[in-house]
Structure 1
Amino acid sequence: MKILLVEDDTMIASGLMYALEQEGYEPFHCMTASDAVHRIKTELYDLAILDMQLPDGTGFDVSRALKENSTPIIFLTVVDDESKIVSAFENGAADYVTKPFRLRELLARVKRTLQAAKGENPTGFLKIGNAEIDPIAGKVYVGSSPVELTALEYRLLLIFANNKGNLLTRTQILDSIWDQGSNFVEDNTLTVYIKRLREKMGSAVTIETVRGLGYRAD
């Protein structure tokens, strides 16, 4: 799989090139937007990893050139800014990673994006409803869009994903949260977090209240 890396930081680029080669990919590196656009005119890539800030422009300049070939894109950004993230997805991003990042997480996202582009279900991902959970990166996606959850909301969703279609009593859920988080969660607090999780996941995941017993999700 051919991967275009556009990154002007030579230390980051060197580490990424080595890691991608070790994973069996064929990476190509450009330091500027103009060099990347020139290369895109003559080469096809399975994936592009684009730094948001480049010496002669932005990653968006490169993404526009990639749109013609429907190349999936992962943006690298130093600022976890909501408006920039929204712009990234509007400009064709399949995913984004905030610097500094963990190499293992980025490689997991590369694998996920490539598999999704081929219509495969990424190995190791958990599915519940129309949502996918990446347990390595601790991320949740609906389609290609990430869903921002708190640590407790994430643990709740993970519990439901590992018990799809099964009735879970409130006691079972509370015990699981205690075991994973080492924090005490009251029964009333659980109700609040279930409500918040429903709001954030929307129609992607159905969390059913079984009156007097607990919850069932799918």
Structure 2
Amino acid sequence: MMKLLIVEDEEYIADFMMIGLEKAGYECEIAYDGKAAADVLEVKRYDLILLDIMLPEVNGFELMEYIREYHTPVIFITARSRLEDKVKGLGLGADDYITKPFALAELIARVECVLRRYHKGQEKILFRDLEIDAVSRVVRRNGENIELTMKELDLLLLFLRNRNITLFRDRIYEEVWEGEYDGESRTVDLHVQRLKKKLGLHTSIISVRKIGYRLED
């Protein structure tokens, strides 16, 4: 399981990020100021750091210079949207920059993108009696392979990375089929039904009337 450090002094934002990311399958810890983050980095290693700029004790730019020694990927998360701040953050070695306010879906997508860039994406995902290898794209139950189509596997990974989150049909279609949802296509529903049948997930993938679906864990 990938370990993330959230460095954010506003507790409600830090909690929002942690809850969403943990539902997506990541292990998270929080540091509420720059000094606390520097202290924890001396004894622990993380796969990714989510770093606010405006922090007590030591600000994000100052902390970034310290983080570089550990070669850990960093995403700046801040309310400062000026171009010069973005340029400075990226120039210090950050891998991405998200401006507040942001949607949870955007945060998760950017985390996954940076981790893939560092070849740290979640290779093995466990769900109940299923084992999913996201790199080799193999799904197993009790050691036996289960054959899924490419889109069925993409759909399963989308659900697994957004556990307990209701996904709108248009988002599912846009992420799996990479096109614009016309509001009438039955493609999403048909693939969800086939996925539930193949994997025995009838009680896990819940239909949310007039909205979409949710994978309950």
Following TM superposition, by how much is the alpha carbon of 1:79 offset from its aligned partner in structure 2, in angstroms? Answer: 2.1
Following TM superposition, by how much is the alpha carbon of 1:91 offset from its aligned partner in structure 2, in angstroms? Answer: 1.1
Q: Which amino acid aligns with 1:34?
A: K
Following TM superposition, by how much is the alpha carbon of 1:61 offset from its aligned partner in structure 2, in angstroms? Answer: 2.2
Q: Which amino acid aligns with 1:32?
A: D
Counterpart of 1:49? 50
After the TM superposition, which residues 9-158 of structure 1 pair with which residues of structure 2 at under 5 Å, given as runs?
9-118=10-119
SS of 1:48's equivalent in the other structure is strand
Residue segments in structure 1 that go unaligned for 5+ positions in a row: 124-161, 163-179, 181-218
Q: Which amino acid aligns with 2:37?
A: A
- Per-residue CA distance 1:31-71 (angstroms, 9 max, x = gap): 00000000011111100000110122311222122111111
- Per-residue CA distance 1:122-152 (angstroms, 9 max, x = gap): x9xxxxxxxxxxxxxxxxxxxxxxxxxxxxx
TM-score by length of 2: 0.54
Equivalent-residue separation in structure 2 for 1:114 and 1:61 (angstroms): 23
After the TM superposition, which residues 193-204 of structure 1 pair with which residues of structure 2 at under 5 Å, given as runs?
none
Q: Which amino acid aligns with 1:115?
A: R
Counterpart of 2:174? none
Relative to structure 1, the CA distance from residue 78 to residue 117 in structure 2 (aligned partners, 3 Å threshold; closer, same or farther) is same
- Per-residue CA distance 1:174-208 (angstroms, 9 max, x = gap): xxxxxx9xxxxxxxxxxxxxxxxxxxxxxxxxxxx
SS of 1:8's equivalent in the other structure is coil
Equivalent-residue separation in structure 2 for 1:62 and 1:25 (angstroms): 23
Equivalent-residue separation in structure 2 for 1:42 and 1:5 (angstroms): 16
Equivalent-residue separation in structure 2 for 1:24 and 1:64 (angstroms): 29
Q: Which has the higher helix share?
A: 1
Q: Which amino acid aligns with 2:48?
A: L
Equivalent-residue separation in structure 2 for 1:17 and 1:88 (angstroms): 22
Equivalent-residue separation in structure 2 for 1:25 and 1:119 (angstroms): 12
Following TM superposition, by how much is the alpha carbon of 1:119 offset from its aligned partner in structure 2, in angstroms? Answer: 7.6
After the TM superposition, which residues 197-216 of structure 1 pair with which residues of structure 2 at under 5 Å, given as runs?
none
Whether the 8 Å CA contact 1:40–1:65 is kept in 2: the answer is no
Amino-acid identity (%): 37
Higher relative contact order (Cα pairs below 8 Å, separated by 6+ residues): 2
Q: Which amino acid aligns with 2:28?
A: P
SS of 1:27's equivalent in the other structure is strand
SS of 1:3's equivalent in the other structure is strand
Following TM superposition, by how much is the alpha carbon of 1:80 offset from its aligned partner in structure 2, in angstroms? Answer: 1.2
Whether the 8 Å CA contact 2:47–2:120 is kept in 1: the answer is no
Equivalent-residue separation in structure 2 for 1:89 and 1:61 (angstroms): 13
Task: Report which of the two structures shows the higher radius of gyration computed on alpha carbons.
Answer: 1
Backbone CA RMSD of aligned residues: 2.1
Equivalent-residue separation in structure 1 for 2:58 and 2:8 (angstroms): 12
Counterpart of 1:2? 3
Relative to structure 1, the CA distance from residue 44 to residue 119 in structure 2 (aligned partners, 3 Å threshold; closer, same or farther) is closer
